[in-house]
Amino acid sequence: MDWIGFGYAAAIILGGYMGYKRKGSVMSMMAGLVFGAFSAYGAYNISYNPKDIQVSLLSSGALAVIMGMRYKKSGKLMPAGVVLGLRSVFVQHFSYQQLFKHTSCFHGLNLCGLSFAVC
């Protein structure tokens, strides 16, 4: 499962909700739901085929362009700068996954009796 991708999608949806709750922006809510849904679908695709990153890259790239324009226009770090930062972490995750996903796994992370494999 691509938990980082699903976390990114949840953060986008939560950001849209926060924009609606704080400022009453229906557009923020709609954009959060649409881009969050595409990101979740992309994470679902990656979970079953790690090479299928097109949907995730397209949705996060489009959101980065939109938020980049908003940041340039307003100069405010919140929310546009935060979304751009999240997107850069997300792209690093994709890069790592594409380069090293099938070559090695780290087994042995044990937290409170639960064992994890980091691949």
Would you kindly state where each structural domain of the chain is located, as residue ranges?
3-118
Q: State mean pLDDT over 95-102.
A: 63
Q: pLDDT averaged over the chain?
A: 76
Q: What is the dihedral of CA 22, 61, 4, 27, to 10 degrees?
A: 20
Q: What is the dihedral of CA 94, 95, 100, 102, to 10 degrees?
A: 40
Could you tell me the pLDDT band of residue 30, with boundaries at 50, 70 and 90?
very high
pLDDT tops 80 at residue 105: no
Q: What is the 3-state secondary structure (H, E, C) of 36-100?
A: HHHHHHHHHHHHHCCCCCHHHHHHHHHHHHHHHHHHHHHCCHHHHHHHHHHHHHHHHHHHHHHHH
pLDDT in tens, 49-75: 877 878 888 888 888 788 878 878 877
* pTM summary value: 0.69
Per-residue pLDDT, 93: 67
pLDDT tops 70 at residue 106: no
Per-residue pLDDT, 73: 84
DSSP state at residue 2 = -
Quote the percentage of the chain above a pLDDT of 70.
72
